[in-house]
Amino acid sequence: MQSIHGGDFWESLENAKSRIIDFSSNINPFGVPEKAEKEIKAWKIKYYPPLNQKKLKDAVSDYINAENAGGAKAGTGNIALGAGSIELIKNFSELFFAAKNLEKHALIPIPSFSEYERYSKLYGAEINFAEPKRDLSFDIEKIIDIMKKLKNKKQVLLFLCSPNNPTGASLNREEMESVLGAIDAAKNAAIFLDECFIEFSSQKSLCSEAAERDNLFIIRSFTKFFALPGLRIGYAISGKKTIKKLEKLALPWNINIFAHDAALACLKDKEYMKKSRTAVKRERKFLSGELKKIGLKVYDSDANFLLAENDWDAKKLKAWLLARGLLIRECSSFRGLDRRFIRVSVRLRHENKILIEKIKEYLEQERKSE
């Protein structure tokens, strides 16, 4: 199974033969924090990355605990590092579905990130999909209903992505609590919660809860908020028992030396964090408003990207925009979506304006040629 994702920047670059603005890959529009970029020191390549990752785990622990001053603290023993959060999706799927001769089920609300389905299948799980509500937000009642039906099955893993890729919808605290209740009521069930976009969200992280539970496994990433997709680094938070088992599957030196150093620098840069949150919130409102003005249906988003729908062929639009230096994600490869949908990341004002202008131009041209 070939993975299909946004961010096929290099392939697109060869097609476009020009400068490209990437709206396809959900990355912080400010790019890498300057302080992190400065940590890229080429001479370090000739040394292995540290085998002992305590220093970075401590920094991650401080970072996530600061978000949640009141709750339980997630210590170093609650944290695992991964070569991108994708390593943690693979390894947790492997761990959770490892037990032989048990019936294995994954419950995946759609549309969502395709790798949950890929790795659940790889490790032998049967996939159950939960359809969204009409506005493409999570249908919590339906999710809990399916959970109840699966309750007597041996193993059930519920994948939640909040804010969700590609819809931008998130679960609020009350909804999270009802889902956690359903998981607790089942015996061999757990939640895989993908918080890779949580820094852009108005909802609070569940890291504090995860530190006290072995049936809640959270992944987070440096890829999106800190704009480090090229380096491959993410982390997981869960109960100590789960993290210990997971670490047996991790590769030694899974975090390359640059990812290690850049991540440490990112976690210190409070100014970058504040600036990014403020700008993304403002630009999301602007971009969403403008796209609606030109007639697109835009879904409510709690993340740094927008899902939009229109009566067009998004593959054609994508190619047209690429020839003009703009890369977007067309969503036909997402289960539950089709060629009418596009996903665009929220970028800086001058970039967002270019996107709006170009889409407008495309629509006018299409209208004329009808």
| Integer Cα distance of 229 and 224 in angstroms | 7
How many positions of this chain bind its own copies (CB under 8 A)? 52
Between CA 104 and CA 64 the distance in angstroms is 32
**Which position among 17, 52, 270, 311 is part of the footprint of its own copies (CB under 8 A)?**
52
95 binds its own copies per the rule CB under 8 A: no
The residues in 102-141 that bind its own copies, with binding defined as CB under 8 A, are: 115, 122
In 193-203, which positions are buried (b, 16+ CB within 10 angstroms) versus exposed (e)?
bbbbbbbbbeb
- d(C-alpha 284, C-alpha 301), whole Å: 8
Sketch the per residue contact string, 10 through 49, with its own copies: x for CB under 8 A, - otherwise.
xx----------x--x-x---xx---xx--x-xxxxxxxx
Nearer to its own copies, 51 or 69 (CB): 51
Helices (H) then strands (E): counts for the chain: 13, 13
Extract the tokens encoding 111.
Answer: 């549309």
**Is 83 a binder of its own copies (CB under 8 A)?**
yes
Q: Does 251 bind its own copies (CB under 8 A)?
A: yes
Binding-site member from 95, 110, 127, 249 for its own copies (CB under 8 A): 249
Residues 6+ apart with CB under 8 A from 101: none
Cβ 10 to its own copies, closest distance in Å? 5
> Considering beta carbons, is residue 8 or 300 the nearer one to its own copies?
8
Asked if residue 90 binds its own copies (CB under 8 A), the reply is yes
Of 63, 92, 258, 341, the one binding its own copies (CB under 8 A) is: 258
Residues 211-230 that bind its own copies (CB under 8 A): 227-230
| Entry field: residues in the chain | 370
Nearer to its own copies, 70 or 252 (CB): 252
Among 259, 306, 337, 342, binds its own copies (CB under 8 A): 259
**Residue of the chain from 9, 286, 320, 362 that contacts its own copies (CB under 8 A):** 9
191 DSSP assignment:
E
Contacts of 125 (CB under 8 A, 6+ apart): 93, 97, 104, 105, 106, 155, 157
Q: Please, which residue, 156 or 231, has the CB nearer to its own copies?
A: 231
- The reply on whether position 166 binds its own copies by CB under 8 A is no
Tell me the C-alpha distance between 69 and 146, whole Å.
34
Q: Say which residue the tokens 């693979």 belong to.
A: 90
- In the chain, the DSSP E strands lie at 21-22, 79-82, 104-109, 126-130, 155-161, 189-194, 216-221, 234-237, 297-298, 305-309, 326-327, 329-330, 341-345
Selected range binding its own copies among 70-78, 245-253, 288-296, 304-312, rule: CB under 8 A: 245-253
Residues that bind its own copies (CB under 8 A): 1, 3, 5, 7-11, 22, 25, 27, 31-32, 36-37, 40, 42-52, 83-84, 86-87, 90, 100, 115, 122, 227-232, 248-249, 251-254, 256-259, 262
